[in-house]
């Protein structure tokens, strides 16, 4: 069977689903190729996802325009009212941001993976001219007029544009022979959720340490917090070998017990994800556009991996919607505009996250002193702080 559409989106993550919804609401026909397995695997029945996202204003505005934000369970979304960043050592530097100083209602919102994906899945069921196809792609055929995606059951999806939203190990990117710069950070992100003794008051905390990596505590609704600990591999193995209660004690020690005693949220779930930097040499190919982790993978220390992906969706939708009437959505000029519109944002985030990871992983005393002085200096410069937080929120100062 041959299934024809204007756009074929490959990938079952939140970024791919948002792209499919955006194209459908723009009046284009869409095929969404997704594997058969369900999403939200990080959540236990009745529990809280260990995989959460700190969504910024760009993501919020995109999801609101797609009627997805209001469809999520608001009781499971926590606004971030303040961010407190601390350096290492007894005299470690400190950098504070708050929503009031940024003249906004919230700096970001902490959203669970399943809450986001469930709302996207529900919206897709009612999206016009959209077909969700379950299967596995085996070959990508590209020519001047259209692209064809051959499936393992013999079906073929043809489209003017193929959108690769299939993650860091992107099959689409590989089919297009797009080169890749790869570097492992030798770290794993340890994620878990805890009940906290003291109220977090909507504050997100982050500690940069040289030996123990980067520890972040993100606010969840109620007196709960979500841990993202970017730990060196050896430490990560040690943390994963222990119990969730032992992990809670280690986190409390690193954080100076800022939230009091921590208790694992039931049922106890602790997971680990390898961390790496991936820079594809291009995010477009003839009749192909890459978005999300297929287009870039950055260190999670800034919490912007998902936000970059949603910004890709915004940029691609804009490039396609603003195309000339004689160009189809996969035209090379249209895709070139998309690539140019995303270049600066992606390069800046890659450079910032990689640079910070390198800076704060150094154990040299002069470097440690300099970085702590730098944090304190930035904290005393309101103009620079406003520029940094505006960029973090997805705005331009």
Give pLDDT tens digits for 375-397: 777 777 776 667 777 766 776 53
CATH number assigned to the domain comprising residue 204: 3.30.9.10
Instruction: State residue 203's pLDDT score.
Output: 96
Q: How confident is the model at residue 91 (pLDDT cuts 50, 70, 90)?
A: low
Dihedral of the CA atoms 367, 308, 49, 361 (nearest 10)? Answer: -10
Residue 169 shares a structural domain with residue 220: no
> How does strand 203-209 pair with strand 213-220?
antiparallel
The string of DSSP codes covering 134-176 is ES-EEEEEE-SS-EEEEETTS-EEEEEEEEE-S-TT-HHHHHT
pLDDT of residue 352 exceeding 90: no
Residue 213 shares a structural domain with residue 137: no
Q: Does some domain include residue 223? A: yes
Residue 242 shares a structural domain with residue 187: yes
Instruction: State residue 42's pLDDT score.
Output: 41
Question: Taking Cα atoms as reference points, which of 208, 204, 260, 252 lies closest to residue 92?
Answer: 208
Residue 351 shares a structural domain with residue 240: no
Residue 375 shares a structural domain with residue 363: yes
Q: How confident is the model at residue 40 (pLDDT cuts 50, 70, 90)?
A: very low
Q: Does some domain include residue 292? A: yes
Instruction: State residue 326's pLDDT score.
Output: 95
Averaged over 204-232, what is the pLDDT?
94
Q: Does some domain include residue 90? A: yes
**Position of tokens 């949220």?**
265
Averaged over 96-119, what is the pLDDT?
92
Residue 21 shares a structural domain with residue 135: yes
Residue 217 shares a structural domain with residue 310: no
The C-alpha atoms of residue 16 and residue 146 are separated, in whole angstroms, by 20
**Position of tokens 């100062």?**
397
Instruction: State residue 43's pLDDT score.
Output: 47
Residue 205 shares a structural domain with residue 130: no
Q: Does some domain include residue 88? A: yes
Residue 25 shares a structural domain with residue 96: no
pLDDT of residue 39 exceeding 60: no
Instruction: State residue 134's pLDDT score.
Output: 93
pLDDT of residue 38 exceeding 50: no
Domain total in the chain:
2
Residue 105 shares a structural domain with residue 205: yes
In percent, the amount of the chain with pLDDT more than 90 equals 76
The string of DSSP codes covering 90-111 is TT--EEEEETTTTTSS-SEEEE
Name the residue range of residue 118's domain. 2-51+113-181+276-358
Instruction: State residue 289's pLDDT score.
Output: 98
pLDDT tens sequence across 264-296:
999 999 999 999 999 999 999 999 999 999 999
Residue 164 shares a structural domain with residue 221: no
pLDDT tens sequence across 297-342:
999 987 889 999 999 999 999 999 999 999 999 999 999 999 999 9
Instruction: State residue 104's pLDDT score.
Output: 87
pLDDT of residue 248 exceeding 80: yes
Residue 247 preceded by cis peptide, ω within 30: no
Instruction: State residue 99's pLDDT score.
Output: 87
The C-alpha atoms of residue 214 and residue 360 are separated, in whole angstroms, by 9
For the chain, list the strands marked E by DSSP: 2-10, 30-34, 52-55, 78-80, 82-86, 94-98, 108-112, 130-134, 137-142, 147-151, 156-164, 180-196, 203-209, 213-220, 224-232, 262-264, 271-280, 284-285, 288-290
Instruction: State residue 16's pLDDT score.
Output: 98
């Amino acid at each position: 069977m041959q299934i024809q559409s204007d756009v074929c989106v490959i990938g079952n993550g939140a970024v791919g689903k948002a792209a499919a919804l955006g194209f459908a609401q723009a009046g284009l026909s869409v095929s969404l190729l997704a594997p058969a397995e369900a999403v939200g695997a990080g959540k236990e029945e009745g529990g809280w996802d260990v995989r959460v996202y700190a969504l910024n204003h760009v993501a919020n505005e995109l999801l609101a325009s797609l009627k997805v934000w209001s469809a999520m369970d608001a009781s499971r979304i926590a606004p971030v009212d303040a961010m407190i960043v601390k350096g290492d050592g007894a005299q470690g530097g400190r950098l504070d941001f708050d929503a009031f100083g940024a003249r906004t209602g919230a700096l970001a919102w902490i959203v669970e993976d399943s809450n986001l994906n469930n709302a996207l899945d529900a919206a897709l069921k009612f999206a016009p001219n959209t077909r969700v196809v379950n299967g596995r792609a085996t070959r990508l055929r590209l020519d001047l007029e259209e692209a064809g995606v051959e499936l393992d059951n013999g079906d073929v999806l043809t489209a003017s544009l193929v959108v690769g939203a299939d993650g860091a190990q992107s099959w689409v990117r590989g089919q297009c022979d797009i080169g890749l710069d790869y570097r492992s950070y030798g770290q794993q992100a340890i994620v878990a959720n805890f009940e906290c003794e003291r109220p977090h008051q909507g504050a997100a905390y982050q500690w940069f340490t040289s030996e123990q990596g980067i520890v972040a505590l993100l606010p969840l609704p109620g007196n709960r917090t979500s841990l993202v600990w970017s730990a060196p591999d050896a430490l990560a193995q040690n943390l994963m070998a222990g119990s969730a209660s032992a992990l809670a004690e280690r986190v409390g020690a690193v954080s100076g017990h800022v939230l009091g005693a921590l208790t694992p949220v039931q049922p106890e779930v602790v997971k680990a994800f390898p961390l790496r930097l991936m820079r594809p040499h291009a995010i477009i190919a003839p009749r192909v556009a890459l978005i999300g982790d297929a287009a870039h993978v950055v260190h999670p220390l800034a919490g912007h991996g998902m936000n970059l992906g949603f910004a890709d969706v915004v940029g691609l939708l804009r490039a396609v919607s603003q195309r000339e009437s004689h160009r189809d959505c996969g035209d090379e000029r249209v895709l070139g505009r998309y690539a140019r519109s995303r270049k600066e944002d992606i390069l800046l985030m890659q450079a910032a996250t990689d640079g910070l990871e390198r800076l704060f992983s150094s154990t040299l005393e002069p470097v440690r002193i300099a970085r702590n002085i730098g944090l304190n200096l930035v904290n005393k410069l309101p103009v620079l702080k406003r520029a940094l937080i505006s960029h973090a929120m997805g705005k331009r100062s």
